[in-house]
Amino acid sequence: MRAKYGIQDSDLYNFDETGFMMGMIRARMVLTRSDRINRPKAVQPGNREWVTAICAVAADGHTVPPFLCVAGRFHLAAWYSGGQIPGTWVIKTTPNGWTDHDTGLEWLKHFDQQTKARQKGQYRMLMLDGHESHINAEFNEYCKANKIIPLCLPSHSSHLTQQLDVGVFGSLKKAYGSQISFLTRASITHITKDDFFPAFKAAFELVFTEKTSRVAFRGLA
């Protein structure tokens, strides 16, 4: 398929989504200073609010700015102050922080905007699963109109074929958990969106490097 369309590494992308509970520290618990003084007590920050992150990388190591779905109805100015969210990132509010039927097309337009200028060949190829929130008739029509070739991965094969699942998302959640543990040690026990965005940004920038993206693709080549 790549040879047929002359797809170069810089034009080969993979995207997927992963979810976070704002206050959950993955795979470990944290003790606050006051807990240590009084009695040992393992704690997790209280917020179980869900956030979905849609991420994409290219085979040459380039990272597409993320697209985040958060629970809510309105955008708050505080989210965008102090450099918490770079201008190239997208924040979408949904009732529960999950993706919905329209999200795939919205993300595709974001992807197109962020990658068209660096396109080297005639086409871009986008590897993805066939989940209904990712791909539908409107998604396919937009791809065709903008010379994007969608390549659906086999069902139930993400542990083998989904580069982001295999090599990146686990590290991202671990790095995010470390950021939240720092807040917990500072006696912050309820994580809000104002806390989430800088914590996620720090974790994302730590994990989504050119080297990490290249290794993820190479491991499944």
Residue-wise pLDDT tens for the chain (221 aa)?
889 999 999 999 999 899 998 876 654 433 333 333 444 344 455 567 899 999 999 999 999 999 999 999 988 888 888 777 899 999 999 999 999 888 999 999 999 999 999 999 999 999 987 666 667 899 999 999 999 999 987 765 555 555 687 668 989 999 999 999 888 888 777 888 989 999 999 999 999 999 988 877 765 55
**Domain boundary assignment for the chain:** 2-218
Q: For residues 159 and 127, give the distance between their C-alpha atoms in angstroms, rounded to a whole number.
A: 14
**What is the model's pTM?**
0.84
Under CATH, which number does the domain 2-218 receive?
3.30.420.10
Q: For residues 50 and 169, give the distance between their C-alpha atoms in angstroms, rounded to a whole number.
A: 16
**Bridge-based pairing state of the strands 63-71 and 50-58:** antiparallel
- DSSP class of residue 124 equals E
Residues pairing with 21 in the sheet: 50
Q: What are phi and psi of 77, to 5 degrees?
A: -60, -30
